[in-house]
A and B are shown apart, each in its own frame.
Chain A
Amino acid sequence: MADTPLVNLTIEGRTVSVPAGTSILEAAKTVGVLIPHYCYHPGLPVAGVCRMCLVDVEEAPKLAPACATAVAEGQVVNVHAEKARDARKGVLEMLLINHPLDCPICDQSGECELQDYTYQEGRADSRYREPKRFNPVEDFGGDVMYVPNRCILCTRCVRFMDDVAHDAVLNVSERGDRATIGKFEGKDLTHAWAGNVIDLCPVGALLSKDFLNKARSWELDRTASVCSGCSQGCNMTVETRDNAVVRLRPRPNAEVNEFFLCDHGRLNYRWMNRGDRLEAPSVRGASGPRATDWDVALAVAAQALKGKTVFVLASPNLSNEALFFLSRIMKAAGGRGAFRIEQGPEAPLAGVDDLALRADRAANGRGAELLGFERSTTPLAGVSAGDAVIIADHDLTADDAAHLSRASTIVLVSTFMPSALTRADVILPIGNHVEEEGTFTNLRGRVQRFLQARAAPGMARPSWYVLADLSAALGDRLNVMTGAQAFAALAASEPAFAGPSYDTLGLRGAAVAGATAGAAS
């Protein structure tokens, strides 16, 4: 907004210069000052009800709610002035009078904003001597349960369902201290994006039934990643405990998913922990696959592929880097590649521009297309007699398997053994997308990095690493040792990916010109 005038003010002694109309709370963020708050959320309309963000503005008669007060020229704001701290202390005390002492059994513990601010600025004791208000736990449907006793009535959940999801199934019921969040009998939180209310809830009032009592927040390791549930490419955080993925949560990205993740993406993580993984490089022996070491398996695979036309069945959930090496192998051998991408009903988040659970239920269909793989409902129909086929982490139907009878050689580069596959000459085990780093290209041509969140099982290696080695064994050596180098090699050879590097992509990704051109809009 080049034409919006700037306003200059002072917050906690720091000089701030922000566009007119910015709230004091947002202005404070720009200079690293966090003003405590509950009901405010940058993805929701301002409510100004929790009264936690009250700050002292010099010469103003009353404390100002920072989330609902626009900056003014020359304002001097003291977030930690005594009267502001007293006011916040008062709010915290009031929020705790009916709040049960549930921390030991509450899932939110460790990531609870009520705990955080009380510890930081609240009272060490309680003066409340009266009986506490009690309401039973409710099932709100979907993945959401509601614990009214813990609710601080910030109304983030109500505003999300109403203003962002455009499905006003939550309300505030009753009045005064009898108020709770409510819904209508029979109308549940079945909206495709309803699970976001769990993340939005600052306390343990709205909880995930899936995550209930599963792990403590401080036990979790958190890694930046990208959801592979569909082609939207929502940024997410993978949370693991003892190397098992226990929860997925949205990671903010203003260009893709704002602050939100759909329930399909959020709850679809169990496959990441599946136990039936390919763990050892194997070659086919007289009585079935025989585990061996990487050098042997790669050599056998290269031998099996040499001189033949190569057909690649590549999963649209493979990274750009892995698909890059696959496409090099495929093109060098004068072959083709295809993939099938599962479809499902689209479910937009109406209140956010261009955000939906997409019909394409895989992360990297666009990447695959850009790298020369053809989208098809019968991807193996193009296999010619005598072709060497590489199956790269793609599942097989009975029909697919029938086409394979024409193949002379089958090399399986995969995380799992497809049940319809009867024969594989070489098996090269790889990691899934939370077990390695890489990038995906979303439906709009945005390339985004994901990082490794857990260790791959057994001897499995990163997919791009294995495929770079296989490509080298076939005579195409690119000297790639890291994910960054793999991407650099991709960017150097493919015009669609020219420009970015891992450094420039950072953890928010970037729209890549070559990739966005011709992307669905």
Chain B
Amino acid sequence: MSHGPSAAAGAAISTTPHGHSSEPYVPVFTGETRAQLDALMERYPTKMAALLPALWMVQEARGWVSPEAMAEVGQVLGLTAAYVKGVVTFYTMYHQHPVGKHFIQVCTTTPCHVCGAEDVVKAFLKQTGCGELGVTSTDGKYTVIEVECLGACGFATPVMVNADFIESVTPEKVPELLKKYG
């Protein structure tokens, strides 16, 4: 799903404002990565079932899922690019454009909401300099978004930074936490 526009000028990554590189697309599924996907496909009776895992592999390799990558995955698995796009846009965790180096997700659903999750969000927005949800900071380091229930409600407020799952975050802990993600 889309989380909002990424930062324009000043981003550390050398891409155009919408994140599409002017260089030709380099396929993800070659060599070792292709072998990994092939092994993974053995687990399922259909190629289509390897779609979500394949998209994860793309995101792990490139940081996001570009239209070219969607077309590549489609080709490898025998699916149309439109089909792959329909799946990508359904799931919130696949980025459809580049995001900050540290992608910060703060849970604000009711159990965390009643424990002050909104203040945690405000603290992140302030500390990262993002100012706005979904907009990457001008230095390209951070993107902050609100997410729905992360399944750690007893440890309010849980926050994910990329693949790191951090429990019991309070506004006071935010500056210290961000030090690790400089």
Contact = CB atoms under 8 A, between A and B. Distances in A.
A and B: bona fide binding partners:
yes
Interface of A: 162, 167-175, 182-185, 187
Contacts, number: 40
Contacts of A168: 79-80, 82-83
Nearest to B88: A173
29 contacts: A162-B83, A168-B80, A168-B82, A168-B83, A169-B82, A171-B82, A171-B83, A171-B85, A171-B89, A172-B86, A173-B85, A173-B89, A174-B1, A174-B89, A175-B1, A175-B89, A182-B85, A182-B86, A182-B89, A183-B82, A184-B67, A184-B70, A184-B71, A184-B80, A184-B81, A184-B85, A185-B67, A187-B81, A187-B82
A490 B131 CA distance: 83
Given A171-B89, A182-B86, A184-B71, 17 more contacts: A162-B83, A168-B79, A168-B82, A168-B83, A169-B80, A171-B86, A173-B86, A173-B89, A174-B1, A175-B1, A184-B67, A184-B80, A184-B82, A184-B85, A187-B80, A187-B81, A187-B82
B90 A175 contact: yes
**Interface range on chain B (Cβ under 8 Å from partner):** 10 to 19
A183 B84 CA distance: 10
Closest 4 CB pairs of A and B: A171-B86, A184-B81, A184-B82, A173-B89
Interface in B82-99: 82-83, 85-86, 89-90
A171 B81 CA distance: 10
Q: DSSP class of A's interface residues: helix, strand, loop or mixed?
A: loop
A173 B90 CA distance: 7
Contacts of A170: 82
Contacts of A167: 80
- With most chain A CB atoms within 10 A of its CB, the pick from B67, B70, B80, B82 is B82
B149 to A, nearest CB: 16
A181 to B, nearest CB: 10
Contact of B90 (A162, A169, A174, A184): A174
A183 B67 CA distance: 11
A151 to B, nearest CB: 15
- With most chain A CB atoms within 10 A of its CB, the pick from B1, B71, B83 is B83
A191 to B, nearest CB: 11
Nearest to B74: A184
Contacts of A183: 82
Nearest to A180: B89
Nearest to B89: A173
A292 to B, nearest CB: 61
Nearest to B2: A174
- With most chain A CB atoms within 10 A of its CB, the pick from B1, B85, B86 is B86
B76 to A, nearest CB: 16
